[in-house]
Structure 1
Amino acid sequence: MTTALSPADAAARLAAQGPVRTARTPKLARKVLERFPASAPRGSWPAEEFAADRRRDGVPARVVMDLDSDSYLVIIEAAS
């Protein structure tokens, strides 16, 4: 048989457990290597080509879209 705790008892029990610890993922800092306008000619992918060149050089670059400026950003992420 289980007994239901009153709201006050449940709150006291929760408070007695202390802070809840969770595994935190490291915050990643982004560094923008280059910006490219989103209006590239058809069939042209300058941001992707730039990022591919950086990856060939060993830099883990990737392309993200900045909707506010309507441009593609080539970024790298590093743990801070």
Structure 2
Amino acid sequence: MSREILADFPAGGPRGSWPAEEAAQQLRQAGTPATVVMDIDRDLFLVVPEAEQ
């Protein structure tokens, strides 16, 4: 299964920093439903569109 990736961020960011969550929040405020998931294999946080229900 393939999904669109809106942004990606290294998992080893500075302590207390949440850049993926901040990017997802900015997208949501702009009207694009987005969420953050972890790509364990690549050690990245991915910002992806929220799954449609």
Which TM-score tier does this pair reach, normalised by the shorter chain?
0.7 to 0.9
Give 1 or 2: higher helix fraction. Answer: 1
What do you get for the CA RMSD once the two structures are aligned? Answer: 1.9
Equivalent residue letter for 1:54: L
**SS of the residue 2:4 aligns to:** strand
Unmatched tracts of structure 1, length 5 or more: 1-27
After TM superposition, list the pairs within 5 Å mapping 1:1-80 onto structure 2: 30-77=3-50
Runs of 4+ in 1 over 3 A off after TM superposition: none
Q: Which has the higher contact order (CA 8 A, sep 6+)?
A: 2
TM-score (norm 1): 0.59
Unmatched tracts of structure 2, length 5 or more: none
